[in-house]
C-alpha cells in the first residue's frame, strides 16, 4: 500500500512465538502494536486506535472465547477485526459469520501463512479505506462548489444535469485537475443529495482492489453503490478482462447512476480493441470534455479571481496581483489545471501574509515554475519577456523614476535606457505623448 503514513495493526495473541512472528512480518509495512492478553489490549486501544485488529479468540484472562471480541465490537465498532483461531475451518467460518466478522485465518500448530495473513489485511484495509474515501467525498459535496460563469462551463454543467435527470451514464474526459470530481459533487448536490457516492479508482484494481471486492455482498463496491452514484475514475485503466463481467452486472442491476472519468479519450482504445465496444457504449451514453485552463483564458481568470478571494478571506488579508505577476499566471501552462492553480494561489497568499514581498513572490514563482510556455523564440525569448515584465513593474512601482529603477535592478542607467528602447517599454514621457 502506498500510504504516506503507515496504517496501524494491533495483534492480540497470547502465544509469544506466533505474536513475534506476525510482528516481524507486518512491521515491514505497518505500524504494529502487540498485546498478549485482554488487559493489555484494552490498555492499548484507547491510546493507539488501530486500523485493523488481529484477534486470537483464546486468551488467558477471558472467561469465554468471545468475551474480548464482544467488548471491542461494542466500544470500537468501526475497527475491522480479523480472527485467528485453531478451531476447524467450518466452525470458524460459522462463528465468524455469526459474530459479524468477515475475515478469519486458520491457525495450525501456532503457525500462520504470511501470504494469507498479508492478503487478508490488505483486503480488509481496502474496504475500510474505500468507505473512508467515499465518506470524505460525500462530505466534500456539502462544501461550496464554484461554477464559473463562462459559457463552456455553464454548457457542460447544464448537459450533465440533464443527462443524470434522464438516467443516462456520463463519461467525463479531461486532463488531471480539470474538475471532474467537482462536477460529480455538483451533480450529487443538485440531483440526488440523499444518495451515496462510491468511488472506484481503476488504477488500484488488481493491486489493492481485487475482483472479489467488486462483486461480493454485502460490502462489495458495486453493492455499496446501489441506489447511489458509482463514480469510476481512470476507467481507461480498467483491465479489459473485466469489461464483459462488469457490463453483465450493470445490465442485470439497473439501480446505479454511473459516471466514469478518464484523462484521455476512450475511442482510440476501442478502435485498437483495447477497450470493449459494448462496455464503452454502456458507460458513454453522454460524453463531456472538461476544458483545460491554458486554452481557456476567460476560465483561468475566473478561477484566479475566485481562489484569490477565497484565500484572502480565509487568511484575512487583501492580496492583489501586480501586473507582471498576473501576466506570469496567465502565461503558465497549468498542466495540473484547477488543482494546481488552487494550490499555487494558496501558497502565494500564505507567503504574502508572512511578509514576502511582490518581488520575492515573482522570484519564487519563476524559480519554482516548470510550466512557463517556451515559444518559437525558445529560452532567450522567454528570458526577454521576464526581463521586460520586471522592468515595467519596477518602473511603475517607482513612479517611472529611472535612476531609482536602475538602482533596484542593479543595472546602470545606460543599460536601463537601452532595455527600455529594445523592449519598447512605455515611460512617463511616452505615456504623456500618448
| The predicted structure's pLDDT at residue 27 | 92
> What is the Cα 34 distance to its own chain's centre?
32
| The predicted structure's pLDDT at residue 3 | 44
Is residue 145 located within the same domain as residue 267? yes
Tell me if 398 is assigned to some domain. Answer: yes
Is residue 146 located within the same domain as residue 285? yes
Is residue 63 located within the same domain as residue 180? no
Q: Which helix (H) or strand (E) covers residue 427, if one does?
A: none
Is residue 261 located within the same domain as residue 151? yes
Report the chain's terminal Cα–Cα distance, integer Å. Answer: 64
Tell me if 135 is assigned to some domain. Answer: no
Identify the domain containing residue 23 by its residue range.
8-123
Question: Is there a contact between 330 and 322 (Cβ–Cβ < 8 Å)?
Answer: no
Tell me if 357 is assigned to some domain. Answer: yes
Local confidence pLDDT in tens for the 434 residues of the chain:
444 578 899 999 998 988 998 999 999 899 999 999 999 999 999 888 999 999 988 888 988 878 898 888 888 888 889 988 776 666 666 766 677 676 777 776 445 677 788 888 887 887 777 676 666 665 555 567 899 999 999 999 999 999 988 889 999 999 999 999 999 989 988 887 777 788 888 887 756 566 777 877 766 788 877 878 899 999 999 999 999 999 998 888 777 789 999 999 999 999 999 999 999 999 999 999 999 999 999 999 999 999 999 999 988 888 888 777 788 888 888 888 998 899 888 888 887 776 666 556 655 555 555 444 444 455 456 567 777 877 887 888 888 888 888 888 878 888 888 888 888 888 766 544 44
Number of domains observed in the structure of the chain: 3
Nearest C-alpha neighbor of 8 from the set 40, 53, 47, 39: 53
Is residue 85 located within the same domain as residue 58? yes
Tell me if 420 is assigned to some domain. Answer: yes
Sheet holding 52-56, edge to edge: 31-35, 8-12, 52-56, 81-85, 103-106
| The predicted structure's pLDDT at residue 180 | 94
Is residue 285 located within the same domain as residue 304? no
Q: Which helix (H) or strand (E) covers residue 81, if one does?
A: strand 81-85
Instruction: Give dist(CA 370, CA 165) in Å, integer.
Output: 42
Sheet holding 170-173, edge to edge: 197-201, 228-233, 256-262, 170-173, 286-289
Is residue 223 located within the same domain as residue 311? no
Tell me if 2 is assigned to some domain. Answer: no
In Å, what is the CA distance from 258 to each residue of 188, 207, 217? 12, 23, 19
Tell me if 323 is assigned to some domain. Answer: yes
Q: Which helix (H) or strand (E) covers residue 258, if one does?
A: strand 256-262
Choose the final residue of a domain: 243, 269, 289: 289
Is residue 278 located within the same domain as residue 303? no
| The predicted structure's pLDDT at residue 118 | 85
Question: Is there a contact between 290 and 183 (Cβ–Cβ < 8 Å)?
Answer: yes
Instruction: Give dist(CA 126, CA 123) in Å, integer.
Output: 5
| The predicted structure's pLDDT at residue 372 | 46
Choose the final residue of a domain: 257, 289, 321: 289
Is residue 363 located within the same domain as residue 428? yes
Is residue 198 located within the same domain as residue 182? yes
Tell me if 309 is assigned to some domain. Answer: yes
Choose the final residue of a domain: 74, 96, 123: 123
Strand partners, 172: 261, 288
Is residue 332 located within the same domain as residue 261? no
Residue 120 C-alpha cell reads as 487478508
| The predicted structure's pLDDT at residue 379 | 46
- The secondary structure of the chain in percent helix, strand, coil, rounded to multiples of 5, reads 55, 10, 35
Only one residue has cell 477471558, namely 62
| The predicted structure's pLDDT at residue 429 | 61
| The predicted structure's pLDDT at residue 236 | 95
Tell me if 131 is assigned to some domain. Answer: no
Instruction: Give dist(CA 304, CA 293) in Å, integer.
Output: 11
Is residue 32 located within the same domain as residue 88? yes
Domain of 208: which CATH number?
3.40.50.300
Question: Is there a contact between 258 and 170 (Cβ–Cβ < 8 Å)?
Answer: yes
Amino acid at each position: 500500500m502506498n500510504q504516506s503514513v503507515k496504517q496501524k495493526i494491533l495483534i492480540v495473541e497470547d502465544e509469544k512465538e506466533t505474536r513475534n512472528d506476525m510482528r516481524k512480518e507486518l512491521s515491514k509495512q505497518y505500524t504494529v502494536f502487540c498485546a498478549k492478553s485482554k488487559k493489555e489490549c484494552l490498555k492499548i486501544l484507547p491510546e493507539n486506535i488501530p486500523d485493523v485488529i488481529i484477534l486470537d479468540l483464546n486468551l488467558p484472562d477471558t472467561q469465554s472465547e468471545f468475551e474480548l471480541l464482544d467488548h471491542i465490537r461494542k466500544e470500537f465498532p468501526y475497527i475491522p477485526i480479523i480472527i485467528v483461531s485453531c478451531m476447524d475451518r467450518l466452525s470458524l467460518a460459522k462463528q465468524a459469520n455469526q459474530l459479524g466478522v468477515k475475515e478469519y485465518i486458520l491457525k495450525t500448530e501456532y503457525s500462520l501463512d504470511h501470504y494469507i495473513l498479508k492478503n487478508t489485511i490488505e483486503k480488509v484495509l481496502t474496504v475500510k479505506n474505500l468507505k473512508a474515501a467515499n465518506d470524505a467525498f460525500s462530505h466534500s459535496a456539502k462544501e461550496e462548489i464554484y461554477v464559473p460563469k463562462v459559457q463552456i462551463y455553464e454548457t457542460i454543467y447544464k448537459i450533465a444535469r440533464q443527462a443524470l435527470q434522464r438516467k443516462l451514464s456520463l463519461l467525463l474526459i479531461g486532463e488531471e485537475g480539470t474538475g471532474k470530481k467537482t462536477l460529480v459533487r455538483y451533480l450529487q448536490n443538485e440531483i440526488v443529495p440523499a444518495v451515496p457516492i462510491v468511488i472506484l479508482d481503476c488504477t488500484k484494481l488488481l493491486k489493492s482492489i481485487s475482483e472479489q471486492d467488486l462483486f461480493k455482498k454485502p460490502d462489495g463496491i458495486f453493492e455499496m453503490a446501489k441506489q447511489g452514484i458509482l463514480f469510476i475514475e481512470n476507467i481507461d485503466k480498467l483491465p479489459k478482462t473485466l469489461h464483459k463481467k462488469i457490463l453483465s452486472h450493470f445490465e442485470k442491476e439497473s439501480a446505479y447512476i454511473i459516471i466514469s472519468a478518464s484523462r484521455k479519450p476512450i475511442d482510440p482504445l476501442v478502435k485498437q480493441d483495447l477497450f470493449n465496444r459494448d462496455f464503452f457504449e454502456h458507460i458513454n451514453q453522454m460524453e463531456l470534455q472538461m476544458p483545460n485552463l491554458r486554452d481557456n483564458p476567460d476560465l483561468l481568470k475566473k478561477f484566479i479571481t475566485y481562489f484569490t478571494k477565497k484565500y484572502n478571506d480565509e487568511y484575512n488579508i487583501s492580496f492583489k496581483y501586480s501586473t507582471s505577476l498576473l501576466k506570469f499566471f496567465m502565461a503558465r501552462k497549468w498542466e495540473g489545471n484547477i488543482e494546481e492553480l488552487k494550490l499555487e494561489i494558496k501558497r502565494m497568499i500564505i507567503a504574502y501574509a508572512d511578509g514576502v514581498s511582490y518581488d520575492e513572490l515573482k522570484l519564487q514563482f519563476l524559480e519554482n515554475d516548470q510550466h512557463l510556455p517556451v515559444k518559437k523564440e525558445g529560452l532567450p525569448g522567454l528570458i526577454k519577456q521576464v526581463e521586460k515584465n520586471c522592468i515595467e513593474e519596477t518602473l511603475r512601482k517607482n513612479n517611472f523614476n529611472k535612476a531609482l529603477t536602475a538602482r533596484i535592478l542593479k543595472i546602470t542607467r545606460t543599460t536601463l535606457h537601452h532595455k527600455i528602447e529594445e523592449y519598447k517599454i512605455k515611460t512617463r514621457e511616452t505615456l504623456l505623448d500618448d
